[in-house]
Structure 1
């Protein structure tokens, strides 16, 4: 696994307007971006009956991991299983493509086929569903603007309209009722490899904005 630095900041709408203008002048927008300059992400997170993933986040455990199934712009022909690992402020993500049918079988806990998968990540999730009791738990939707910069392999994202599907795991229902998760602040994330170029650092350095350990999954569990 390749680990990267990851920093998060709450920002307000005025920060967003200024940042967006500066980022567009220096960085390239992500290829997934639509004509409005953003794209939609839906993620379904896994946890067990003890809420281990949630509690490790709340308790600030330095080494933790979480599994999720993710799709974009309600396009269910492109779905990924992902595992995100975090050690202090360093993060790593690995993924495996799955079909909508395979994802739906996981949501229904029909998992025996996973043991024979050619993708180690799918086998790993199967093992942990069996040994740790991981189950589909919570859905999160949000709108993302993403900007990339080749030097330092920098990726800056701005996430807005973060919503939760409460206790539903109907990931492939495009009309799933959603409500705002948390206090609906805008989230700035900065990810990079070994160093952050000064030109980018100067843009995203917001003296009045504190760094945060915000978790979309934890926010989605605020109602249960």
Structure 2
């Protein structure tokens, strides 16, 4: 466990007024993520859970150590797909990821996983074991638009996530016309603040917005209500 690189991660619900204030401040000292197109990019993820919805209920219950698996793509670009495992441990987070092909993604989502036994990829093999022994299955698609800013000191990353939607009636992650429903009011935005060992004072001062407090936001949990 000591070899795992953990990061701090804090989340807030903010309103449009907060967003415009913070955005104008951040743009003066931080730069947009290099993968942004215009002011941001579109993210689509499909989350896995077991037959008892363990990941969902551990999140709701606030279990100190928990993990979740997802497949993610950006701007509907099927040439760059990632399988990710996110670990939460006593308030700190770590993420492991590996690139997979569109063919491999479709096989996983359809339950065709025996080929994974012959790969050397440890993350794929971990997912395979969970799909076989714990009946892990793709549960729901989560869509949203992200605006991301980075700051090198402290490896800070600040994101604004908006237009959060849950996919319904389908697990086809490549369907650009996938039916989806909004899970939050359009005026509510999720602010995420991530950093390594410390948060520079200049950033900490900027993100002070009224009486906002850290909150246990989970886009996966929000979307499971619908999907």
From 17, 24, 29, the equivalent of 1:21 is: 24
Equivalent position of 1:213 in the other structure: 216
| Shift in CA distance, 49/79, structure 1 to aligned 2, threshold 3 Å | same
After TM superposition, the score normalised by the length of structure 1 is: 0.97
Q: Shift of residue 80 of structure 1?
A: 0.2
* Aligned residue runs from structure 1 range 1-224, under 5 A: 1-35=4-38, 37-184=39-186, 185-224=188-227
| Shift in CA distance, 167/56, structure 1 to aligned 2, threshold 3 Å | farther
RMSD: 1.1
Distance 1:168 1:204 in 2: 37
In structure 1, the gaps of 5 or more residues are none
Aligned length, in residue pairs:
223
After TM superposition, the score normalised by the length of structure 2 is: 0.95
Q: Is residue 166–residue 221 contact of structure 1 (8 Å, CA) maintained in 2?
A: no
Per-residue CA deviation, residues 175-221 of structure 1 (Å, 9 max, x unaligned), is 10111024452000000000000000001122322221110100011
Q: Shift of residue 73 of structure 1?
A: 0.2
Q: Is residue 138–residue 220 contact of structure 1 (8 Å, CA) maintained in 2?
A: yes
Secondary structure of the corresponding residue to residue 122 of structure 1: helix
Distance 1:149 1:139 in 2: 30
Distance 2:176 2:118 in 1: 30
Per mean C-alpha deviation after superposition, the further-off stretch among 177-186 and 15-24 is: 177-186
Secondary structure of the corresponding residue to residue 211 of structure 1: coil
